Structure 1
Amino acid sequence: MSPDPWSAILDGFERDIALAVSGKVVPPWTPPLDAGPLPASLADRARRVLDAQADAVAILNRAKHDAGTQLSAIDAVPSGPGSDRPLLLDVRG
């Protein structure tokens, strides 16, 4: 690894967080084998990255919940031969 492996690791985490919350595919992560202990000088940055990861998880969980709610609403709309009459869909909720 480079002389400052932890900066590169944190850069990668930040890049992956941005990809995830923008809906893009995040590549699989492989833990580095030779990074050594986190330098004290990067502890605050590592905490910020950890907080950003927690925020991203919350955002993605909300999006997953909302998508599930929408899919359930779609599934609730009757279809087939008995559904040839007009339906009212309450979009205001």
Structure 2
Amino acid sequence: MLNAMEASIAAAKFPAPNPGDDVGGAPVWVMPTYLGPMPADLRSRANRILGEQRESIEALEERKRVTGRHLAAIEAVPPAHPGDNAAYLDVTS
């Protein structure tokens, strides 16, 4: 199971060059009904995966905030002709 989670993290960090390309993504994980105690030799590996997942969440949240700011800036630009959508946005000035 940890192998699948690590593969998923690697695929997220290094996405396929084209959206349809297969990067060996991990299947959706379903938690077993009883896992038992975690073996001591897997704890550090599992903690590293948890840390990387938290970093991924933070990075996605930041991208979400930046995208929201960009969308707000685009929406703030009035159209050249009322009722029309803006054709482009000059960001050089």
Superposition TM-score, scaled by structure 2 size: 0.64
1:14 aligned residue = 6
What value does the CA root-mean-square deviation take over the aligned residues?
3.1
Listed one character per residue, the Cα deviations across residues 24-74 of structure 1 (whole Å, up to 9, x for unaligned) are 798643212343321011011011011101111111111111111111111
2:36 match: secondary structure = coil
Larger RCO of the pair (alpha carbons < 8 Å, separation 6+)? 1
- Given the alignment of the two structures, is residue 68 of structure 1 paired with residue 68 of structure 2, yes or no? yes
Structure 1 residues without counterparts, runs of 5 or longer: 1-8
8 Å CA contact retained: 2:9, 2:52: yes
- Given the alignment of the two structures, is residue 52 of structure 1 paired with residue 52 of structure 2, yes or no? yes
1:42 aligned residue = 42
- Separation in structure 1 between the aligned mates of residue 10 and residue 90 of structure 2, nearest angstrom: 36
1:5 aligned residue = none
The Cα shift of 1:20 comes to 3.9
- Are the structure 2 counterparts of residues 18 and 68 from structure 1 closer, same or farther at C-alpha, using a change threshold of 3 Å? farther
Aligned residues: 81
The Cα shift of 1:22 comes to 5.1
8 Å CA contact retained: 1:10, 1:46: yes
Higher helix share: 1
- Are the structure 2 counterparts of residues 17 and 91 from structure 1 closer, same or farther at C-alpha, using a change threshold of 3 Å? farther
8 Å CA contact retained: 2:4, 2:27: no
